[in-house]
């Protein structure tokens, strides 16, 4: 290439054959073909991973979905046991891959309601004792910040509500 010139300055005529639609275009594949288009069969040419052949399937979509899901574990009793050992709701949520600590607390309360009455009162008394200790730590730590103290004490009171 000569300095100062680009390919847009080249004036050599194209040797490609001309078409009716575009006198400058070469015989590119983007032009319409006069041959009829071959219809392909529907579906996939190769089997998809993890799928069974649908022709022999007699189950509906709901049964197929249920079979694919792992069985749901009832973790309420396990959450109750961990809380009895002193684990926080956040630690329990992390252990069972729950989204929030409140989900662990709800599982604890369900497990508490499922226990016999005599055990339930003992577990509730131990939980009240833990919440009393938490309240004492909050009062000592946040005495200088009354707004923070009030907010945290209200949260402890909310934790007490589900126990009775």
H or E element at residue 13? none
Same domain, 102 and 143: no
Per-residue confidence in pLDDT tens, the chain, 164 aa: 556 555 555 566 666 666 666 555 555 555 566 777 666 666 666 666 665 555 544 555 555 554 554 555 688 999 999 999 999 999 999 999 999 999 999 999 999 999 999 999 999 999 999 999 999 999 999 989 999 999 999 999 999 988 87
Q: Does residue 133 sit within a domain?
A: yes
What total number of domains does the chain contain?
A: 2
Q: Does residue 63 sit within a domain?
A: no
Q: How many CB atoms lie within 10 A of CB 82?
A: 20
Instruction: Give phi and psi for 115, each to the nearest 5.
Output: -85, 155
- The residue segments making up the domain with residue 101 are 75-115
Report the 3 state secondary structure along 95-159. Answer: HCCCCCHHHHHHHHHHHHHHCCHHHHHHHHHHHHHHHHHHHHHHHHHCCCCHHHHHHHHHHHHHH
* pLDDT on residue 141: 93
């Amino acid at each position: 290439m000569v300095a100062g010139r680009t390919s847009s300055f080249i004036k050599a005529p194209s040797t490609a054959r001309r078409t009716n639609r575009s006198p400058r275009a070469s015989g590119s594949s983007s032009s319409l073909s006069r041959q009829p288009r071959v219809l392909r069969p529907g579906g996939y040419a190769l089997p998809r991973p993890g799928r069974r052949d649908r022709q022999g399937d007699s189950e509906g979509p709901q049964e197929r979905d249920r079979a694919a899901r792992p069985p749901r574990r009832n973790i309420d009793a396990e959450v109750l046991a961990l809380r009895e050992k002193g684990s926080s709701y956040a630690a329990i949520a992390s252990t069972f891959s729950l989204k929030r600590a409140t989900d662990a607390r709800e599982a604890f309360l369900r497990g508490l309601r499922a226990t016999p009455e005599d055990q339930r009162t003992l577990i509730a008394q131990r939980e009240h004792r833990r919440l009393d200790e938490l309240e004492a730590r909050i009062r000592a730590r946040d005495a200088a910040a009354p707004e923070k103290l009030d907010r945290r004490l209200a949260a402890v009171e909310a934790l007490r509500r589900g126990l009775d």
